[in-house]
Amino acid sequence: MSSNGPASFQSELQRMPLPELLRVLDVVHRRVEELTGALDLRPVASGSAVEWQSHVVCDPRILCWKPTLRGTRMSVEFVLELLAGGWDRDALAANYSNLTDERIRAVLAYAAETFREDRFHLLPPVETGP
């Protein structure tokens, strides 16, 4: 995917073939469901969800505006790909010590809010003539 900012990313999603987009969304959805049992997803403080804004930042000097975890060059996209790829809590902790449960929750909260604010209209493929 391109790293020219959110508009470019949205444009690439719109050009993605429907079967591929559905496959990606399905993998991410299944992985998030699996992780809800593997991670401690309870709110950080009683009655409040994790505040992703204190963990996720966009800096033009780091990965060309891609959302990253504060103080790292680790993109939200990369963390989601690890989760979708089947990495569990132990593998993440062993390879990325700064990727805490709270930071993973922040990545998931950021992704959820991004999807909540954007509208995705998944249409069936257009059938061509005989």
> For residue 67, what is the domain's CATH number?
1.10.10.10
Give the range of the structural domain holding residue 74, as residue numbers without chain letter: 6-117
Q: Which residues of 114-125 are buried (b: 16+ CB within 10 A; e: fewer)?
A: eeeeeeeeeeee
Output the average pLDDT for the chain.
77
Helix (H, G, I), strand (E, B) or coil at 71: coil
Residue 128 domain flag: no
Residue 19 domain flag: yes
Of 69, 128, 71, 64, the closest CA to residue 104 belongs to 69
**Sorting pLDDT into bands at 50, 70 and 90, what band is 113?**
confident
Residue 97 domain flag: yes
Residue 122 domain flag: no
Residue 52 domain flag: yes
Q: Is the pLDDT of residue 123 over 60?
A: no
Residue 126 domain flag: no
Average confidence (pLDDT) over 100-116: 88
**Sorting pLDDT into bands at 50, 70 and 90, what band is 43?**
very low
Residue with tokens 């930071």: 103
Residue 60 domain flag: yes
Per-residue pLDDT, 35 = 65
Question: Does pTM surpass 0.75?
Answer: no
Residue 43 domain flag: yes
Per-residue pLDDT, 33 = 66
The model's pLDDT over 4-42, given as tens digits with 9 standing for 90+, comes to 555 666 677 677 787 777 777 777 767 766 665 555 544
DSSP letters, 1-49, are ---S-HHHHHHHHHHS-HHHHHHHHHHHHHHHHHHHHHS--S-SBTTB-
Structural domain count of the chain: 1
